[in-house]
Structure 1
């Protein structure tokens, strides 16, 4: 039985090999995008940037809350996204009471999503998949346009202006379509994403569509681009808000798939 770490690295290699056969990277044309998104690209320094085929998000100080009443657990997080087709690969190592380690693998590739969890690398805890997971993974990819703006020019995402500071994005892939609203501040920074199309896992592995918010802030300039260094995710349940993820983005590297220190 292979470890989730090995599965993660194997998935990066597989998708990377597929990407090697796509046409060479070209410069982007953002002129067809709504004005809010054009301003976002300009403010973040992506105008004239090479075409992005993949992005390596380097996380620091990531924390996860495993339940609404649980305490925060420290976590190591490794993430690669591909753009030609929507692909999101995230490997996590979670410290429990500083004694045990959970491995988690959050994947969307080949038009399907899954979440696998193992204890001390070998004991399966859960392995979930299905149309609800597919939809939830897709809407998460849509939300990460805040971190990887080049998702905005992909053919599987469309845009609709709501007002002067918000815009609706819709991602459609493999027969599934999900949407959310992006909110921008006066500086042209995308600071919040809200969707009703993500599924919250309830008891007995039952799913319920639940309002979900991702926030991005504390934009900083590094290597010529501005990106949010603080990111968090919150469920808005019938029993109140449940913030379950928060982390710091150290850097974003484009068109590189090397993972170190995993």
Structure 2
């Protein structure tokens, strides 16, 4: 039985080969975007930057809370994204109680999403799929425009100005449309994304649309690019807020699909 790590690496290689033959990415013409996005893109150093087809987000100090009452569990997180078609590949290694190794693969490709979890690399725990997972993955891709502003240029995302400090983004792909609102601070940094279009998994694998927030802070400059180094994700459930993910971004590499030390 193939490990999720192996599945992750094979997916990167396959999508990378496909993207090599894909039509060129859109030119870096930001002039038709809302002014807030133009300012954000310029602030982050992407004006005149090379066209981006894929991105590798390097995470540090990532933590996951598996349930609202659980303790934080440290994990290693590896993430690769492709832009011409929305593809999101995230591999996670988690240690429960410091003893039990879990691996998880959070994946969106070929217009479908899935979340797979295995214990000790061989024992399947879950493999969630379906239209709710597809929608949740798409709205997460939309949210990660915070890290990868070139998503703003993709034809499958459209924009609507809300007010002087916020804009609404809508991603429409394979018949599924989801939206969220990006909030910007006085410096032009995007610090928060909120949506009602993400699904929370309840008991018996039932799904419910639940208010979801992603926050991004502590922007830093590295290799000419500014990006948020702190990221948190929170569900706002009927029983209260449930922050389940937090981590720091070490760096972002573009147009490279080779991973090491995984």
Instruction: Give the TM-score category using the shorter length.
Output: over 0.9
Residue in structure 1 matched with residue 238 of structure 2 by the alignment: 238
Provide the residue aligned with 2:30 in structure 1: 30
Query: What residue is the counterpart of 1:169 in the other structure?
Result: 169
**Residue 195 (structure 1) aligns with:** 195
- Verify the 8 A CA contact 1:86 1:108 in the aligned structure 2: yes
For 2:25 and 2:150, the matched residues in 1 are separated by 13
Closer/same/farther in 2, CA of residues 25 and 171 from structure 1, 3 Å limit? closer
Would the aligned equivalents of 2:55 and 2:255 in 1 still touch at CA under 8 Å?
yes
Alignment deviations for residues 184-231 of structure 1 (CA, whole Å, 9 cap, x no partner): 000100000000000000000000000000000100000001000000
Match of 2:206 in 1: 206
1: distance between equivalents of 2:194 and 2:140?
A: 11
**Structure 1 residue ranges, 4+ long, deviating more than 4 angstroms after superposition:** 24-27
Aligned residue for 2:73, secondary structure, equals: strand
Distance 1:202 1:22 in 2: 38
The aligned residue for residue 178 of structure 1 is 178
Residue 80 of structure 2 corresponds to: 80
**Could you tell me which residue of structure 2 aligns to residue 48 of structure 1?**
48
In structure 2, stretches of 5+ residues that fail to align are none
Cα gap change, 1:14/1:29 in structure 2, threshold over 3 Å: closer, same or farther? same
In the other structure, the counterpart of 1:113 is 113
Q: Tell me if structure 2 keeps the 8 A contact 1:27–1:50.
A: no
Query: Is 2:26–2:153's contact at 8 Å kept on the other side of the alignment?
Result: no
Aligned length: 262
Q: Does structure 1 residue 39 correspond to structure 2 residue 39?
A: yes
Residue 5 of structure 2 aligns to a residue whose secondary structure is helix
SS of 1:63 mapped into structure 2: strand
CA RMSD of aligned residues (A): 0.8
Q: Distance in 2 between matches of 1:174 and 1:221?
A: 36
Q: TM-score, normalised by structure 1?
A: 0.99
Query: 1:173 & 1:19 partners in 2: Cα distance?
Result: 17
Deviation at 1:137, TM superposition (A): 0.2
Preserved contact between residue 27 and residue 48 of structure 1 (Cα < 8 Å): no
Q: TM-score, normalised by structure 2?
A: 0.99
Return 5+ residue gaps in structure 1 as ranges: none
Give the drift of 1:24: 4.6
Q: Secondary structure at the match of 2:30?
A: coil
